[in-house]
Amino acid sequence: MSDRTSDAPWQRIGARPAPTRYRKNPVTQNPNSSEGEVALVGAGPGDPELLTLKAWRLIQSAEVVLYDRLVSAEILSLIPETAELVHVGKQRANHTLPQDQINNRLVELALQGKTVVRLKGGDPFIFGRGGEEIETLAAAGVRFQVVPGITAASGCAAYAGIPLTHRDHAQSVRFVTGHLKNDTCDLPWNDFVQNNQTLVFYMGLVGLPVICRQLMASGMSVDMPVALVSRGTTPEQKVVAGTLTTIVDLVDSQEVEPPTLVIIGHVVALRSRLDWVASVPMQPILS
């Protein structure tokens, strides 16, 4: 085998690969030490073991971590005590720090020469306003990087036993914001009613009655399976499953804690056979 082929990590199965690539830290190895940097890091949906290695590494070397409400306590406990922790909020209708102030704070810290991690729930580019934060950084000439995270749709669906796509049931999946601007809704409801498509509504708890009503009015089967996943991937995960007709009453009749994700489509019915999470107890191995 030539040296070139042995470089390919997938050909080194069984051998312990030299992890040189992962030792480089573009934030801490900034050649200009007076210049700070920001890493916009996705923390995943809650289970700390769903953090990427890159997220974990950057967290370990951060001087300041700005995080919002969606970042789980277990993940916060992984942040070294040497790092300054700043809670920048984000609760429905109760933003602890307005978005433009968060953006400006990131710039200020970087200009002070700090190594900053902006830690966000899930993936920073999926309903995370990550784009706005790095636009400000880019305009200010601050060096930044973006680390993707497991988005709530992937995490919650996996831990609820709902495959978002399936050759027999869903050839596409659509991520939609359920944070509706007004009750009549400016979403393309007719487009959502397609055969073999899974819909995932983020921020959909408050708008759930409107979402169900609009989908049925647009022609979706009233028996379409729906699941609401509360606190997905955490030990408090709870799944309420029903149909477009029943889900609102089912959710109303029990305690459901935010954050919640709504999954709509035939794939939801597979859960009755594929739910695995109760059989694999979560281990707090990182704490």
Active-site choice (7, 24, 68, 100):
68
Owner of token pair 């497991």: 150
What would the x/- binding string for ligand SAH be over residues 245 to 284, using CB under 6 A? --------------xxx-----------------------
Q: How far apart are CA 273 and CA 50, in angstroms?
A: 24
Distances (CA, A) of 271 to 44, 220, 249: 22, 20, 20
Least separation in angstroms between residue 74's CB and ligand SAH is: 12
Does 127 sit near ligand SAH (CB under 6 A)?
yes
- Is 3 catalytic? The answer is no
- Is 68 catalytic? The answer is yes
Binding to ligand SAH (CB under 6 A) within 87-126 occurs at 120-123, 126
Least separation in angstroms between residue 166's CB and ligand SAH is: 21
**What letter represents residue 98's amino acid?**
P
Binding to ligand SAH (CB under 6 A) within 43-62 occurs at 45-46
Query: Given the complex with ligand SAH, which of 220 and 229 has the nearer CB atom?
Result: 229
Question: Is 85:67 a contact under the CB 8 Å cutoff?
Answer: yes
Active-site choice (90, 114, 120, 123):
90
Least separation in angstroms between residue 42's CB and ligand SAH is: 7
Question: Is 265:227 a contact under the CB 8 Å cutoff?
Answer: no
Binding to ligand SAH (CB under 6 A) within 163-202 occurs at 202
With CA atoms as reference, report the closest residue to 266 among 208, 200, 197: 197
Distances (CA, A) of 115 to 108, 149, 187, 264: 11, 20, 40, 41
Number of CB atoms found within 10 A of residue 232's CB:
26
Binding to ligand SAH (CB under 6 A) within 199-238 occurs at 202-203, 229, 231-233
Query: Given the complex with ligand SAH, which of 37 and 133 has the nearer CB atom?
Result: 133
Q: How far apart are CA 235 and CA 281, in angstroms?
A: 9
Least separation in angstroms between residue 228's CB and ligand SAH is: 9
Least separation in angstroms between residue 125's CB and ligand SAH is: 8
| Residues whose CB is less than 8 angstroms from the CB of residue 67 and which lie 6 or more positions away in sequence, other chains included | 43, 76, 85, 86, 87, 88, 118, 119, 120
Residues that bind ligand SAH in the complex, under the rule CB under 6 A: 45-46, 70, 120-123, 126-128, 151-152, 156, 202-203, 229, 231-233, 259-261
